[in-house]
Each structure stands twice: as C-alpha cells, then as structure tokens.
Structure 1
Amino acid sequence: MSLPVHLVPTLSGVAEGSVVEVTGDEAHHAVAVRRLAVGEQVVLTDGCGVSVTGEVESTGKRVFTVTVSSVDVAEPATPRITVVQALPKGERGELAVEVLTEIGVAEIIPWAASRSVAVWRGERAVKSHAKWVSTAREAAKQARRSWFPVVAPLATTAQVTALVRDADLAVVLHEEGPASFASLSVPAEGSIVVVVGPEGGISPEELAAFAEAGVQGVKLGDEVLRTSTAGVAAVAALLSRTARWA
C-alpha cells in the first residue's frame, strides 16, 4: 500500500532524524478528515524535488509532526514538457490539469484562444486559476510526484507564440497537421511545448502565428479527441519516444 503524501512549504536542511511540523489546511485534512494517527508512516514533499519518509510523532487540531527516517532528492525530469491548454468549458479544465499532472507535465499554461468558449475575466479568472492550481497540487500528491507542476497565469496568443520560439520542440495539435508523432525528432533533453486548442478549434490566424514561430502541426489520428484529453494523449506519444518511458 502506498504511503500518503503531504505537501509542506520547504524541506530545506532536513535530514534523517529531523522533526518536521506540518500545519494549516494540509494538517487539518490529514488529521480531521483522513484520521492520521501517531505511528503512521507518511511521505512529505516540498514539490521542488525533495521528499522525506517518516513516522508521525504527534497530532493536533491543525498540526502534526513527523520524524524523518529517509530523504530523497530527485532531479527535474528531462525533457521538460509544457502544455499550453486552451480554456475548455465547464469542469473539463480541471480534468485536463489532473491528467496532465499525472503523466508528468512540468508546466501547464491556460490559454485564452480566440475560439475558446470559456472566458476568464476578473474574479472568475482568479477563482478558475485557483481551481487549476489546487487540482494540480492534489493530482501531484496522488501521482507521488517530487516535482509539482507549475500552473502559469492565463496567457494570450502573443505570449504563447513568444514561448514556443525558445522550445527545442514545439507542436500544435491540429486535424490537418502535416506531421505525425512518429515522424518527429524528439529531443532527449531540453524543452518541449505542446499547444492544445479549444473546442472550436484553432483559428487560421493563430495557426499562422505558430507556424511562423516554428511550431509543427501534428495530427493525433483519425479520431477526434476532446480538448481536455488531447493533451495527455500527445504527451504520452512524446514520452514514449524518450528515456523517461524507456
């Protein structure tokens, strides 16, 4: 049985025998909801590559402490994969974030594409972004990731175009894309960016801007995938060509 994972702000300087205190909402959920008990083994991570395993020494209303028995430091996975996700409608945005986190994406960038049905503005933008961040955090704990993904602020097409210019490989999913994943030269290291369009498709103007920036149009297959699941299919196809899935 896998040990429960809890996120802490930092594990800097922590070594075997150290006592780490967990407080706030993370501790409340562990103690009050999950009924964490003294003597139980848990994993703590800072989401930035450091994870520790240890035994629960004490619990309180919104606090528990862990005595560390082992420390693990993980390097960031390479190639680093970023997914630019056009805003889906309804709760499909959180679904996209969840599965992309589970598969190991390093960064998720919400994109205000011209044909996106969903619109983030004002208070709604703040709440929607917070939901994506929370979803990524919980999915990363479930997936037992040492490095949690970054959920960037909402990006415009111009910002996405600037981003893809610096990538070692950038692809945009499109039903008329001339390339296939089998034909791509996937870098062993560096950065990969995958652009996923909205339900209404990517506009000709956006496609032209991406092409000018060096983005390759790629077709996933004859089947039509939803925007919330297309990204994870594309990332899986790319990872199968790297040492990460060797």
Structure 2
Amino acid sequence: MSPPLFWVDAVPRLGADVTLSGAEGRHAVTVTRIAAGEELVVGDGRGSTARCEVAAITAKDTLIARAHTYAYVDRPRPTVTVVQALPKGERSELAVDLATEAGADRIIPWQAARCVARWTGKVDKGLAKWASAASAAAKQSRRPWIPDIGPLASTTDVRALSSDVIAGGGIVAVLHEHGAVGLRDLGVADVGEIVLVIGPEGGLDDTEIADLTALGATSVILGPQVLRTSTAAAVALGALGVLTDRWSTT
C-alpha cells in the first residue's frame, strides 16, 4: 500500500526537513498513528510531492520528516472541467468527492433551472464545503493536484464558459439520458480541454440543452443506465481516462 498523503504549504526538496503540524499533523500522529521511521508523502495540492521518512514525533499534532524523493507532476491532458448542477443534501459533497477521486481538474457549482438545492444567502458556506470535500478526496486518492472549485455559476456563466472552450478547440459534453452520441464518438483524445455539464436530479431543462448545443456543445449519453447527478461525472471521467492519455503511467 502506498504511503498516506498529507498537505503542506511548501514541499521540501531532496534531503530537506518538513514539519507537519496543525490538522494535518494531528491526523498523521493521532489518527493514522504514523511512527518514527515510517514513510509518508507530503504535497502542496499543486503538483509537487515529496516522499519522506518520519524523523521524530514531537507532539500529538506535530512530526518532522525528511524528504528522500521529490517530484512534480503536471495536470493530465486533456484537462477536464466538471460543471455540476447543485445536488441536494449530502449528495452535494459526494458529487465533489467522486469527481475528485476520478480526476476532475476543476469543478464548477451550477445553479441550474431545475435544481432543488439553492445556495441563496449561503454561497460562501457551500463553496467552503466543496473545497473541503475536494481536498479530502484528493488526499485519500493520493492525487498531487487538488481540483479548483470555481465560483457559483449561473446558466449565463455556463454558456460563456462553453463558448470560450469551443472557440479554443475544446469539447463541451452535456450529459443526458437521450444524448445524441457516446463519449467515444467525440474524438476526445485529440483535444486540450473538455467540459462535462452535469444536470440536477430533475434533469436539464430543454432550454439549457438547446442553448448549449446551439453554441457547439454535444449532448452525450454514457450508457443504458440513468445515473444520479452525484455519480455521473465520476463515470464520465473514468471513460475519459481510458479514451485519452489522462491515465497514462508513462
């Protein structure tokens, strides 16, 4: 099993020491129960990681470790942005968790027409929960990158994003149970950027689909099953991992 990953502000270079403290240090010492001589990985969430050996446990929430490898990994290509219509209840953070584990580079919360959930008056709280879910999921899945969480988007914002991506040669895939094509028919391996648009539990409004496809987006079906809004992005990202070089280990 690979060593656990913890977040730090600055990743040490080869031979340098790093102090893990605060919430991350407490998790390492009291929850994971890491001991001196064991290994862990520290990362900054921006592509840099170092594999370290624990030199000393100095408090219940503090340890010192020395880096014996350092690495930087760029974001996979093509980059994938998930425009996620707001799920209701606990499925909101679940959607972020699953999309992060599956490799999303950016996740944008979207107040779609048929969203039951509303962030009116609590946008900052919602964004903070999504950022926390993304950070925890990236750590759990040993990702060197924490996905960016965008500001709450309106449908006008989603149209503007889609227009820019398509104008730049990218692909916007609107996931829908009556989609016109499958992901493998989009030629995703040859583009630099992909946007996945995920509707809410009640489905996308017809005008939203019409507006986005008029801009050049494509309605896409993932398979014979109708997926929940919280799982659709993760399934699509898994397919993209196979259809592109995003999961390449070379």
Which TM-score bucket, shorter chain as reference? over 0.9
Partner SS, residue 26 of structure 2: helix
Q: Does 1:212 align with 2:217?
A: no
Post-superposition shift, 1:182? 2.9
Shift of residue 187, structure 1, vs aligned partner: 3.7
Contact 1:101 1:136 in 2 (8 A): yes
Name 2:87's counterpart in structure 1: 88
Matched, 1:113 2:115: no
Q: Which amino acid aligns with 1:142?
A: Q
Which residue pairs with 1:48 in the alignment?
46
Q: Secondary structure at 1:155's aligned position in 2?
A: coil
The farther-off stretch of 176-185 and 139-148 is 176-185
Contact 1:179 1:219 in 2 (8 A): yes
1:23 offset after TM fit, Å?
2.2
- Where do residues 182-221 of structure 1 align in structure 2 (5 Å cutoff)? 182-221=184-223
CA drift of 1:244 comes to: 2.4
* Count of residue pairs the alignment pairs up: 243
Distance across 2 between alignment mates of 1:221 and 1:39: 48
Q: Deviations over 1:67-111 (max 9, x none)?
A: 111111112110001111101111112111111111111011111
**Relative to 1, partners in 2 of residues 1:62 and 1:72: Cα closer, same or farther, differing over 3 Å?**
same
User: Does residue 174 of the first structure (1) align with residue 176 of the second (2)?
Assistant: yes
Deviations 1:136-192 (A, max 9, x none): 111111111111111112111111111112220111011222222232111434110
Counterpart of 1:28 in structure 2 is: 26
SS in 2 for 1:166: helix
- Residue 6 of structure 1: aligned partner: 6
1:208 alignment partner, SS class:
helix
Check whether the contact 1:115–1:203 (CA below 8 A) recurs between aligned residues.
Answer: yes
Distance in 1 between residues matched to 2:220 and 2:46, nearest whole Å: 32
SS in structure 2 opposite 1:243?
coil
Superposition RMSD in Å: 1.5
CA contact (8 A) 2:50 2:70 kept: yes
Evaluate the alpha carbon distance shift between residue 166 and residue 173 of structure 1 in structure 2; reply closer, same or farther with a 3 A threshold: same
Instruction: Determine if contact 2:39/2:54 at 8 Å carries over to the other structure.
Output: yes
Equivalent position SS for 2:18? strand
8 Å Cα contact 1:86/1:116 also seen in 2: yes
**Please, what TM-score do these two structures have when normalized by structure 2?**
0.91
Residues 240 and 246 of structure 2 are in contact (CA less than 8 Å); yes or no, is this contact kept in structure 1?
Answer: no
Q: Aligned equivalents of 2:63 and 2:78: distance in 1?
A: 37
Q: Secondary structure at the match of 1:27?
A: helix
Percent identical across equivalent pairs? 45
Is the 1:177–1:217 Cα contact (8 Å) retained in structure 2? yes
Quick check: 1:80–1:190 contact (8 Å CA) kept in 2? yes
Q: Are 2:172 and 2:196, in contact at CA under 8 Å, matched by a contact in 1?
A: yes
Does the 8 Å CA contact 1:80/1:189 hold for their aligned counterparts? no
186-195 vs 28-37, greater mean Cα deviation: 28-37
For structure 1, the residue ranges without an aligned partner over 5 or more in a row are none
1:133 Cα shift?
Answer: 1.2
Given the two structures, how large is their TM-score scaled by the length of structure 1?
A: 0.93
Look up the match of 2:138.
140
3-state SS of 1:20 partner? strand
8 Å contact kept, 1:102–1:139: yes
| Partners of 1:189 and 1:41 in 2: CA distance | 38
Whether the 8 Å CA contact 2:84–2:199 is kept in 1: the answer is yes
